[in-house]
Amino acid sequence: MQNDNEPIIQVTNLTKTFGKFTAVDNISFDVKKGEVFGLLGPNGAGKSTTLRMLSTLARPTKGKATIGGFDIVKHDTEVRKLIGIVSEKMIMYNRLTAKENLWFFGSLFNIPKDVLNKRIDELLALVQLTKWKNAQVGTFSTGMRQRMNVVRALLNMPQVLFLDEPTLGLDPQSSVEIREFIKTLNRENGTTVVITTHMMVDADLLCDRIAIVDHGKIVALDTSTNLKKLISGEDTTIISLEIANLTQDLISAIRELDCVDAVTQENSLHLRIIVHGSEAFDSVIDMVRKENGKITSMQNLQPTLEDVFLHITGHQVRDAADQKIPQEHRKFGVPQKGRGR
């Protein structure tokens, strides 16, 4: 059993391989009770595979983890009583109503009828779907369906909720709804939440602490504020440049500068450049002029989580997320080779 002072999740040297692929590479971390903890990184970084192991859907190759003091391998049945999991795929039956869907999934937990009825009403109220409880789920918007997908995982009143890319594919309004619901669930119910995402805004707005994951490894772990401080010190600067005649040759020339840590091309005119050193700004401007670049605007910027990821790993989250994963390994989150600078 768990000591009240111990983290609710403890992960030690957890590893998962598929043949020659190492999806999760010797990671260790813990999650405090009542915390919203994020695993941030591109598709193929090992985030979903980590969730599959923690939720007892996949066995670790090496290492161990406990949830609520129970080992995920030796005491998997006890672990399942403590958790709920929401995967990217929405598991709902379109021809059933909202209430019928929740009744079906709730019955799988052998919850007494009167308790289940009350819990369904409470959960539908929690996600503001009470007036649609007798409507078929197939008529719901994507945001409403995702809220249903989340509350389905809450029927057993889990202490820990795993959310795998909870806002993936949602429109901005639906994404806001899901984020607000996660905040409410954590604040009012005290539910511990573990989120995987490659969406910077989700990690920034939701998570108490964030583990940046790349190629199966945790490369940084801290609060969003502290992570940003990694590149907001006196020696590091983020420059935004608008260049009217921006070319790939000019971008390559800037990347080659010793003072440049990373370059992001945001559109056909704009560059976001992470540099270090007191002479860095002048060096970048001199290079642009040497290459006959026409600067139309420039400014110093505050760091974002994507800047942190780029600074630490040398490639962008969205770059790696856009790469193709071999179909046979897609569900396991096999790592991809990211593009370095």
Reported as a single tens digit per residue, the pLDDT across 259-311 is: 998 898 888 899 999 888 888 889 999 999 999 999 999 988 888 888 888 88
CATH number, span 233-301: 3.30.70.100
Do residues 240 and 299 lie in contact, with contact meaning Cβ atoms separated by under 8 Å?
A: yes
Annotation: CATH topology of 9-223? Rossmann fold (3.40.50)
Reported as a single tens digit per residue, the pLDDT across 216-257 is: 999 999 999 899 888 766 578 889 999 999 999 999 999 999
Going from N- to C-terminal start, the domains of the chain cover 9-223, 233-301
Write down the pTM of the prediction: 0.78
DSSP string, 145-184: HHHHHHHHTTTT--SEEEEESTTTT--HHHHHHHHHHHHH
Do residues 271 and 255 lie in contact, with contact meaning Cβ atoms separated by under 8 Å?
A: no
Beta bridge partners of 14: 27
Alpha helices (H) in 47-196, listed in sequence order: 47-54, 76-82, 98-107, 113-126, 142-152, 172-189
Statement: residue 87 has pLDDT above 80: yes
| Largest separation between any pair of C-alpha atoms in the chain | 76
State the pLDDT confidence band at 99, using cuts at 50, 70 and 90.
very high
Tell me which H or E stretch contains 42. Answer: none
Mean local confidence (pLDDT), 107-115: 89
How far is residue 10's CA from residue 193's CA, in Å, rounded to a whole number? 14
125-134, 166-175, 285-294, range with the lowest pLDDT: 166-175
